[in-house]
A and B are shown apart, each in its own frame.
Chain A
Amino acid sequence: DVKVTQSSRYLVKRTGEKVFLECVQDMDHENMFWYRQDPGLGLRLIYFSYDVKMKEKGDIPEGYSVSREKKERFSLILESASTNQTSMYLCASSGMVGVRTNEKLFFGSGTQLSVL
């Protein structure tokens, strides 16, 4: 079975801490994505990557950075965690068909991050 694995299911951090959320996929997908999901707001795209060492900002990149040193791994970094970053974080990956057109996304189980 194809798999997207997020390193933690639940995480509790303190304000100001540097937080790393890790995501690994085993499908040799080009594209990887980080979303956050908050009640009533749906999923919002934070960052995505279409190749190793390539990244692009999504709709809400402020306060976040990402790293993609290897094709299978995409890390989300909260440089200095704040309480408004308490959220469910979802990682996804996809292959590509045609000219940069997304095929279906495979999601991880999510990381519920609480920043106190």
Chain B
Amino acid sequence: SQQGEEDPQALSIQEGENATMNCSYKTSINNLQWYRQNSGRGLVHLILIRSNEREKHSGRLRVTLDTSKKSSSLLITASRAADTASYFCAPINTGGFKTIFGAGTRLFVKA
């Protein structure tokens, strides 16, 4: 199992703007997952992208995966104040039984 590293650590934008968060990892993966955590609550799964996929969409979320660079990005379009949260990536190895999280990106969307 491995830990992803999210970048930036914190991001502050205006409502309506797009937010981009990045994730880097070290070894080959089976899939990579993104989660959101609102303050003081549990994490909520947002999207899973498999190693043979390059891009995936879910509503206002767009995730890309570049396995050659061992990186992924999460784009939130037309951000809302309700998107204010911490965002975590989790790269999962084949046979990767443990899911390990990094410190996350804290997103603040100003109304």
Contact = CB atoms under 8 A, between A and B. Distances in A.
Contact of B98 (A58, A108, A110): A58
How many residues of A sit at the interface, in one of the four size bands? 20 to 34
A64 interface: no
A101 B45 contact: no
A42 B88 contact: yes
B52 interface: no
Contact of B103 (A40, A94, A108, A110): A40
Interface stretch (A14-22, A43-51, A72-80): A43-51
How many residues of B sit at the interface, in one of the four size bands? 20 to 34
B44 A42 contact: no
A42 B102 contact: yes
Interface string B27-55: 00011010100001111110010000000
A102 B97 contact: yes
A85 interface: no
A112 B42 CA distance: 11
Contact of B48 (A88, A98, A99, A103): A103
Provide the main secondary structure of the chain B interface. loop
Contacts of B48: 103-104
B95 interface: yes
A42 B43 CA distance: 12
Contacts of A41: 103
B85 to A, nearest CB: 13
B42 A110 contact: yes
Contact of B97 (A42, A100, A107): A100
A94 B35 CA distance: 14
6 shortest A-B CB distances, which residue pairs? A107-B42, A42-B103, A43-B101, A104-B45, A107-B43, A100-B97
Interface of B: 30-31, 33, 35, 40-45, 48, 88, 90, 92-104
